[in-house]
Structure 1
């Protein structure tokens, strides 16, 4: 029986090089957006990163791009409520969505963010894939399932990326993988491979870079 949601294999050398070159080129912050009217022109392929507050999203983006402070991690989870656009050369936008699931965020802020997110996901024709980051120590939580359901409804393919995999042992990893696979199964927009990453150990970065570089 074929395993559902297997771990993505290491890319072949040629594809790995394609990913390395994409992220080794210019990477520039374009703008932070708080309303649809502020979005940059949809003139290139786009990928977005979503995840709970403190999932390690900023660290992963910085590790992918080799820039220590490209994406700034706030000391206050859920503080950043902008959609941040970064340009990878002239060919891609890398989009950093605000962290979600922070219980102390004011209700009005949460509602405004949810409305903007829904508009962005459903109305951005150049968005090729969303990467939903999940802390490998905790697995998929209810707030993750909510964003996944929104991606289903928006017909946006999403791929689950486990972060901080260096923080758990093999037995715990297997347990979390079982939970993640079970939670992903009902979601029609879920891409059928998982990517395991560690920003500190640089694990899985080549796979993620290659995945982004080969999207069409």
Structure 2
């Protein structure tokens, strides 16, 4: 899979157009397609796919629900690391969101972690319709070793990934600015990384419009 990025900066008019396109797309119909626990169970690759990945408790389910305006489209487990399947959601026959299992759960056995990495790498490397991985990092804490390992995995799989910071309503402005600089420097060292790091909050709506706009650019055009 070839990783390509556009070098052009969108104009203010293009930004507003893309935000409106994202709003309309994410306000449309959603359907749960399937929950795959094994690679052989994956649904047929038809629509462009956006996969969401992140450590357990990073706020992945909350962010997906904020993007879609639905309270329980994606559900967080009360026990970190419990979910072990890829959940597929179809959006208005134009895009598929893939909710990946959380990683970095401390209580999981080593064999479980290795099995997760094996399955996820196979999915990432072999899925022809996968357009981007949204990699979530908690803005309140340091970048973990497991986060860096996932970035390396994505580089090896040659899958474009975009880092999105979550829970950005919590840090003070100066701390958030420092976190954005730190993460941007890390991202710059990875060949597969999309260069634009987004700050978001599912509580306040910070960055949600911009993330919708980014993802809408990857969707099939409306029929």
String of CA shifts for 1:68-115, please: whole Å, max 9, x gaps.
011001111111011111111111110011000011012222222111
**Alignment CA distance shift 1:131-1:9 (3 Å):** farther
CA distance in 2, matches of 1:30, 1:72: 15
Deviation at 1:139, TM superposition (A): 3.8
String of CA shifts for 1:9-66, please: whole Å, max 9, x gaps.
9862221111011111111111111111111110110000000110000000001011
**Alignment CA distance shift 1:108-1:99 (3 Å):** same
| Aligned residue among 58, 61, 65 for 2:61 | 58
The within-5 A match list for 1:1-216 is: 12-215=15-218
Residue correspondences, number: 209
Which stretch of the first structure deviates more once superposed, 173-182 or 119-128? Answer: 173-182
SS in 2 for 1:166: coil
Gaps of 5+ in 1: 1-7
Do 1:140 and 1:179's aligned partners in 2 also have CA atoms closer than 8 Å?
Answer: no
SS in 1 for 2:131: strand
String of CA shifts for 1:179-202, please: whole Å, max 9, x gaps.
212222221011010111000001
SS in 2 for 1:115: helix
CA distance in 1, matches of 2:116, 2:64: 21
Gaps of 5+ in 2: 1-9
Normalising to structure 2: TM-score of the pair?
0.90
CA distance in 2, matches of 1:162, 1:192: 13
SS in 1 for 2:169: helix
CA distance in 2, matches of 1:184, 1:192: 7
Which stretch of the first structure deviates more once superposed, 193-202 or 102-111? Answer: 102-111
SS in 1 for 2:210: helix
CA RMSD in angstroms comes to: 1.6
Deviation at 1:156, TM superposition (A): 0.4
Do 2:180 and 2:197's aligned partners in 1 also have CA atoms closer than 8 Å?
Answer: no
Deviation at 1:175, TM superposition (A): 2.1
Do 1:47 and 1:95's aligned partners in 2 also have CA atoms closer than 8 Å?
Answer: yes
